[in-house]
Amino acid sequence: MRRTRLAVSLALLVLLSGCASFAPPQPWEKQYLATPAMQFDADKLDVRNTQHIYYSKEGAAGGYGIGGGGCGCN
Amino acid sequence: MASDHAIVVDGVPDALADAALAAAIADVRRIEAKYSRYRDDSVTAAVNRGAGGAPVAIDAETAALLAYADQCHRLSGGRFDVTSGVLRRAWDFRRSPPRLPDGATLTGLCALVGWQEVEWNERSVRLPRSGMEIDFGGIGKEYAADRAAAILAERGVRHALVNLGGDVRALGGQADGTPWRVGVRHPRAMEAGTAIASVEIADGAVATSGDYERYIEVDGCRYCHLLDPRTGWPVRAWQSISVVAPLAVVAGSVATIAMLLADDAPDFLASQGLPWLGVDAAGEVRGTLGK
Amino acid sequence: MASAAAAVAATDRTAPRVRALLAAALALPGIVPAPAAAQTMPDAGFIQFKYLDYRDWQPGARRMRVENPGFYVMSPFAEAWVVEGALVYDGMSGASPMWHDTLSGASGEGIHDRRAAGDVKLTRYFDGFSVGAGVAYSHENDYISRGGSVDLRVWTADKNTTYTFSYAGAADRIDTPDGAANHERKYVNDFLVGVTQALSQTAIVQSNLTYTRGHGYFDDPYKTFDSRPDNRRVLAWLTRLNRHFPDHHGTLQLAYRYIDDSWDANSHMVEAAWVQPLPHAFSVRPNLRYYTQRAAYFYFDPPFPTGLVFGQPYTADTRLSAFGAFTLGLLLAKDFGGGWSGDLKVEYYRQKSDWRAGGNGSPDILPFSARWIQVGVGKTF
């Protein structure tokens, strides 16, 4: 239970740190959001390689997207 | 009057900048050619040739511009009218010595003005009476400025300033983090570089409509190119009005509409919620910019 | 000096009548840059090659080395379609994964394995949503995986909110050369539900919930005494935030993930990175990641064979022990112009039972370290 509460607080912290101002942008205000640094998974091969390494060296993995196929790294 | 065009690109390697600029400039030229009233092969010429005849087929871009012109017409209570270009025939701003039009000519031409009578939809447009003319001059340049900025942004340019004849669209501020600085020209100062204000803008547009772009002076009175379509005579209440808005088309139309609304301009601009700066007929600087 | 920047940005002050004008202006074609977001179809293709060199070790012994070249291609076609494909190849050599009792046994025992994997995905874009389907195939000399996936993305009219729903299924077959695993099978189903929300001009957040159900053969066949449950349910909750700071030109990337595991190897992960553009179209990205996990309920500490009960699940695999791990990395990227880009990344990873959050890491486990270097080049077309 303590762990779950910690989990929720950490997730909210990440969420709220961006919520300092909730003002969804107009179409002409999206030039920053369009930059690669602001996108999630802009470099798919990099995410795939990195998550594959963690998957093979840590107990559990996931969350970054699905469908890339399995492997024998258990 | 030839207008100066300038596009400034900042913060990207030359190869990227050159490619982006080439694409942006190509599009500006495309729009100028497509909607020019001086070219026989332009959309404007085709539509005007069909006045009083069959509907003329148009593409999606032209239809969107007509829809925008329609919004401007509504917003201005009918004063912003893209069919008012015919009045040019009575007002010759290049003639020397300058001469005021005679009443009969003007009345006849006013009868050919009337956006509300134009039949238009997404696929075609028809000017109902022979002699009517449509003119994209009040929208085309600002539209080109916005498109140029969009084309630059799509090609990876994060910092740019597009200036098409005084209508300015800014993108991302300067690469060093400071905003772009756009000077608002004094309407009576003929020397370059005399500004009544300097607007700092990172993203958005500044456009100015003034009585100094095309005009004649007769007996000490200035008659400018901004004509009230209901009377055929120029508006006189303001020397210039500048507006800041997210897009150049919006800044430009709101500035022009404000000039056309004459004494009602401050109330109109307040209702739009956009920052503005104007010099009235007496030379007084008014507006919300800088306050 | 008048400042218009704030006025222009504060669109919540835009009066209704200007909104009508703005709406008509926005209907003008090409008037705003098409943002390169997932919901807008890309208008250019992209091809990328990466090479990863991975090495890991524990004190006193070199363990594994992996050389991993990979390709990725994406291309729009036929106005509303996008095809994506990836091809990766792993060349593995060295000792098999770490066990708490086999340090002496592992040195000298080498494996040389090769893995090739490929996948293809097709996405069709509609007005307001997109649908994608893909297939994946992976082959190594003892493990074959075949899978498929489908996904649906739905976005709001202003494109500031995107909902993602995905399903992936995989059927794996394990056949070891020595017969320890003979025609074993494993089936995995993944379900993902996620939302991405643009919070402001400079901030965007994403939260994904992934539910993975697997049943079949989970054992490590290279160890005589490794018997795992024949099913596993994992719930992973990943939340990511990207925040741009225009004054510094940099972007902060934060991520937090919690995993709830039916094997009890629950974990937390936090990661922070900063993307900083540099002159001449370079950019640098340092990153720091911390991971902590509990031990699986059938993991037993050394000495072997503590806890081993015939017929009950048992593992000595330190990957299922309780530990914490840090990753420190640095990425250098450059835009060469003309659509060419390159990147070089180095990451250093270290796993220690002492580093488990709150203590109680599994005792008597040697620290595990790894480093990987990745070089990449890409071209839009």
A chain contacts of residue B273, beta-carbon cutoff 8 Å: none
Residue A12 predicted with pLDDT over 80? no
Residue range(s) defining the domain that contains residue C62 = 41-124
Residue with tokens 């293709």: C45
Q: Which residues contact B69 (CB under 8 A, 6 or more apart)?
A: B80, B82, B115, B136, B138, B139
Contact B200, B181 (CB under 8 A): yes
CB contact under 8 A, A18 and C241: yes
B chain contacts of residue A34, beta-carbon cutoff 8 Å: 153
CB contact under 8 A, A28 and B171: no
* Residue C15 resides in a domain: no
Identify the pLDDT of residue C179: 75
CB contact under 8 A, A35 and B158: yes
* Residue C113 resides in a domain: yes
Dihedral sign of CA atoms C13, C247, C379, B25 in order: positive
The whole-angstrom distance between B250's CA and the closest CA on chain A is 12
Identify the pLDDT of residue C225: 80
Domain count within chain C: 1
Tell me what ipTM this predicted complex has. 0.86
Residue A25 predicted with pLDDT over 60? yes
The whole-angstrom distance between A39's CA and the closest CA on chain B is 15
Question: CA gyration radius for chain C?
Answer: 24
Q: CA end-to-end span of chain C, whole Å?
A: 44
Confidence of residue A68 (pLDDT cuts 50, 70, 90): low
The whole-angstrom distance between A32's CA and the closest CA on chain B is 8
Identify the pLDDT of residue B163: 93
* Residue C285 resides in a domain: no
Which portions of chain C are predicted below pLDDT 50? 1-14, 36-38, 101-109
* Residue C181 resides in a domain: no
Domain positions in chain B: 158-283
Identify the pLDDT of residue A70: 58
Residues paired with C54 in a beta bridge? C66, C372
Domain positions in chain A: 36-60
> What does pLDDT average to in each consecutive run of 10 residues of chain B (291 residues)?
75 81 91 92 94 91 93 91 89 81 87 93 92 91 93 83 92 84 83 77 90 83 87 89 93 94 91 89 84 45
The phi and psi torsions of B123 (rounded to 5 degrees) equal -115, -25
The span from the CA of B63 to the CA of B56, in Å, is 11
Identify the pLDDT of residue C331: 98
CB contact under 8 A, C13 and B244: no
CB contact under 8 A, C22 and B198: no
Option in B158, B172, B246 nearest A26 (CB): B246
**Mean pLDDT for chain A overall:** 75
Q: Which two tokens stand for residue C313?
A: 């699940």
Residue A45 predicted with pLDDT over 70? yes
pLDDT in tens, C107-132: 334 566 788 999 999 999 998 899 99
* Residue C326 resides in a domain: no
C chain contacts of residue B255, beta-carbon cutoff 8 Å: none
Identify the pLDDT of residue C2: 41
- DSSP letter string, A11-49: HHHHHHHHTTS--PPPGGG-TTTTSGGGSTTSSHHHHHH
Identify the pLDDT of residue C303: 78
CATH 3.10.520.10 fits B158-283, yes or no: yes
pTM: 0.70
CA distances from residue B243 to A47, B278, C189 in whole angstroms, order as listed: 46, 9, 57
